[in-house]
Structure 1
């Protein structure tokens, strides 16, 4: 009887030992043969020129001929409740030379909702450490394929609120926007949300490796300007 008990104890100990060994070997094997995913490359680029002129602006007027600038801000067109003497034609688009990561735009009154990103083929954006058509470190910059103009929030329009939102946009390899964050706030939550909601519906031509033509994920910054017509 005592011998049987000893054999059972020895058998249980042996099973536990072999189980621990097998679990340890399996864990080590999984670590050795599991492919380590490379960290995501952070690549920030400016938008390249758009192939076509933009469609009608938010107030229904055709967009003017583009100037040779690198970026055009989104300018939401609305009319103030109390009109003032007209200083400029309502269809004039406010243009700036806003580069990636900057929020400086013209403060003159405009009248349209349009998007940052150049529309002149010779004004291709520059990347970190390179400029113009020479490429952005061997990368062809992204461009806008289609856009949805932002809607001016009614409460802010009634209150006469204006502002500029600078968005940081992740452009995925499939041309869709990924993460969209507010890089610089306008100071009004509804304006910020309207800018994000509009850009989320956009379609981009993704950035590509110049040598292989492979689409890659990148980031860009874009100003969205909300201005009331006067």
Structure 2
């Protein structure tokens, strides 16, 4: 009886070893599977973030530019703060040169153009920096209006008046080009902005009249200088 007991004990110990090894293998497999699952979940979440999806499966709103632009205010895009008073000034009635009406016509066209451009600039733009550029260009117009209006008071110099009127027209044209480029998404929408070209074309006859007056004054001054030099 004493010689039969060691054999069953050896079998029990061998079975315990096998069970322990099996449990270890299962634990290793479980830990490995858990690690793989964690890695896959992280990669899946990262791919969702790349394509713009959140973990909850809801895609956030994506806008080309913010719908509200605090840096762009309607009052920043205008010809001049006192343009109404300038156009209604009764002093222009007594003009004897015939040039002030052309100047007023240019100012009215520029005023009309900037008002419509301001409304256009409040709509969707092609990029976020376009609004800032429009405001910067618009603010450069104010000094041009002041220079032109100061040249309209007597004694009137046609050459100076023509130069400053041309400078104002160029500034407004620059604003029109920047705004048009910022608001043109398609060819069809661009065709609906033909009123910009029409407003600029309406100023051409008045600019031509001022240019001719400047050339006449320049020629008169040359003749006067030549006559003075000949007399001396």
| TM-score > 0.5, shorter chain as reference | no
Query: Larger % of strand: which?
Result: 1
Query: Larger % of helix: which?
Result: 2
Instruction: With the length of structure 1 as denominator, give the TM-score of the two structures.
Output: 0.26
Instruction: With the length of structure 2 as denominator, give the TM-score of the two structures.
Output: 0.25
Larger radius of gyration: 2
